[in-house]
Amino acid sequence: GEDVEQSLFLSVREGDSSVINCTYTDSSSTYLYWYKQEPGAGLQLLTYIFSNMDMKQDQRLTVLLNKKDKHLSLRIADTQTGDSAIYFCAESQSNYQLIWGAGTKLIIKP
């Protein structure tokens, strides 16, 4: 069945780039999403990419999509302490259903 996989943790130094990776299985997915969850809060949409795109950039965020390998990545440039959170990858399975990854906890070292 459909599955979205992410590493559970990523540790980076403040000021470095963070790259969070995600693999998905449904080749018919049309949209892929990145959400951010800060402690005690809900999931906040960061960005999304349509499946016919390879890359999308939005300020410090860059999303790369490799459809052949079903691999999605989120790069955060100049990582700050405020970027500490759990990052969820999700693929659209149907008109409404999203398949969620388990989330990657981003840890920022000073």
For residue 50, state whether it binds another protein (rule: CB under 8 A). yes
- How far is Cα 57 from Cα 97, in angstroms, rounded to an integer? 25
Stretch that binds another protein, among 17-25, 40-48, 61-69, 70-78 (CB under 8 A): 40-48
For residue 103, state whether it binds another protein (rule: CB under 8 A). yes
- How far is Cα 66 from Cα 110, in angstroms, rounded to an integer? 32
For residue 42, state whether it binds another protein (rule: CB under 8 A). yes
Pick from 23, 48, 62, 67 the residue near another protein by CB under 8 A.
Answer: 48
Q: Which of 47, 41, 72, 71 is nearest to 59 (CA)?
A: 47
